[in-house]
Chain A
């Protein structure tokens, strides 16, 4: 599942 951690970069 796509966690929101996918966009954990600035």
Chain B
């Protein structure tokens, strides 16, 4: 464990806490894409298949349980909770996640480190995580008004993977044979997808104006 990875995990944890707080306290999910939340639940479900078979550390297991519980409860809130679901804008959140799931699954079948079910699922979860934010970014462009909590949520979600890139660089130079091209490239693609959001987020913060994405 290094400081970059710990910071990345804490930033990731903060993003789900910000989202859960928003939904739980103001009982609203306005501006949040259910499609992205469902994709994240699928990402964690396919990535943490080994949660009970491969014990790595208490920290690792606890964080996996937190991410699984939070992502599924957010999906539950947005689909089932009688008040929260009313603020879900299903007419705007129309991104068909099958267009993301199928290509990632096919790609994982061809590009993986070992052709086993767990490894292919793990690789699928990496590719899917890289693109899971797309429905959310599309929704932000459409709804245009981005409330602070949603902006902070997306920012933290992007920042965590950027910190992971620093972690991979650190591990590459400090651990012999630590090479995971698949992880690195999908993590880089994921972070680049946030690049334009970061640009507008930083500018809105610098000029102290409300965050607006161009149409």
Interface positions of A (Cβ within 8 A of B): 2, 4-10
- Interface hits, B46-66 → A, CB 8 Å: 50, 54, 56-57, 60, 63-64
In the complex, residue of chain B having the shortest beta-carbon distance to the beta carbon of A9 = B5
In the complex, residue of chain A having the shortest beta-carbon distance to the beta carbon of B55 = A4
In the complex, B38 has a CB within 8 A of chain A: no
Q: Count of chain B residues with Cβ under 8 Å from any Cβ of A?
A: 18
Interface positions of B (Cβ within 8 A of A): 5, 9, 12, 50, 54, 56-57, 60, 63-64, 67, 113-114, 122, 164, 167, 180, 183
Tell me the bound Cα distance from A5 to B56 in angstroms: 7
In the complex, residue of chain B having the shortest beta-carbon distance to the beta carbon of A4 = B54
Tell me the bound Cα distance from A1 to B9 in angstroms: 27
A7 with B50: CB separation less than 8 A:
yes
- Chain B residue numbers with a CB within 8 Å of A4 are 50, 54, 56
B60 with A8: CB separation less than 8 A:
yes
- Chain B residue numbers with a CB within 8 Å of A8 are 56-57, 60
In the complex, residue of chain A having the shortest beta-carbon distance to the beta carbon of B187 = A9
B67 with A10: CB separation less than 8 A:
yes
How close is B52's CB to chain A, nearest CB, in angstroms? Answer: 12
Tell me the bound Cα distance from A9 to B54 in angstroms: 12
Tell me the bound Cα distance from A6 to B177 in angstroms: 11
How close is A5's CB to chain B, nearest CB, in angstroms? Answer: 7
Tell me the bound Cα distance from A9 to B60 in angstroms: 8
- Chain A residue numbers with a CB within 8 Å of B164 are 9
- Chain A residue numbers with a CB within 8 Å of B63 are 10
Which of A7, A9, A10 has most B Cβ within 10 Å? Answer: A10
How close is A9's CB to chain B, nearest CB, in angstroms? Answer: 7
- Chain A residue numbers with a CB within 8 Å of B114 are 2
